[in-house]
Structure 1
Amino acid sequence: MDRQRIDKWLWHARVVRTRSDAAALVSSGHVRLNGERETSPGHAVKPGDVLTIALDRSVRLLKVAGFAERRGDAPSARTLYEDLQGSSPV
């Protein structure tokens, strides 16, 4: 797998609790893909893409490192990205 839907990736990486929350986050314009605002939950991400995600009280800067077929536990979710801010609040 070399690409994945942005909403599915956000859910697999445990950035949000549900996939519908991920789709709503993207649709509302709170996610930037490589510096450009993305509003389509079906847009594909690939390894090396940088996501800027505005959450309730924080902003996360994540670099896509890989994909998962299904949502796993928190340690396996952390292998899907590189936190460019140095902290990992999961």
Structure 2
Amino acid sequence: MRLDRLLWFLRFAKTRSAAQRWIAEGHIRRNGERVTRLDQPILVGDVLTLPFRSRVLPIEILALPARRGPAEEASACYRPLDAAGRAP
């Protein structure tokens, strides 16, 4: 699954174009490496580091969503990690 679609499906971005802009800024990391392509493929087990205004959120992808569903459905597809890469 493309990273821009994943961010939109998981409700981290309000629109897909907003997700594309966020990726283009170059601050998102996949498995510790900077993402440079908008169509970066994401797999189950990948760890994404997402920068927000007030904090940085590392997440592990548990499942790839089939659609942009309700927030409960989206949050079941990932788990937040602490700075050391462990689930809190």
How many pairs are equivalent? 84
Could you say which residue in structure 1 is the equivalent of 2:34? 37
Superposition deviation, residue 58 in structure 1: 1.8
> Is 1:23 aligned with 2:29?
no
* Aligned partner of 2:58 among 55, 58, 61: 61
Give 4+ residue runs of structure 1 displaced > 2 Å after superposition.
none
* Aligned partner of 2:81 among 77, 80, 84: 84
TM norm structure 1: 0.86
Verify the 8 A CA contact 1:30 1:55 in the aligned structure 2. no
Greater per-residue strand proportion = 1
Verify the 8 A CA contact 1:52 1:61 in the aligned structure 2. yes
Once the two structures are superposed, residues 11-53 of structure 1 have per-residue CA deviations (whole angstroms, 9 ceiling, x without a partner) of: 1111111111111111111200000000211010000000001
Q: Secondary structure at the match of 2:60?
A: strand
Structure 1: unaligned runs, 5 residues or longer = none
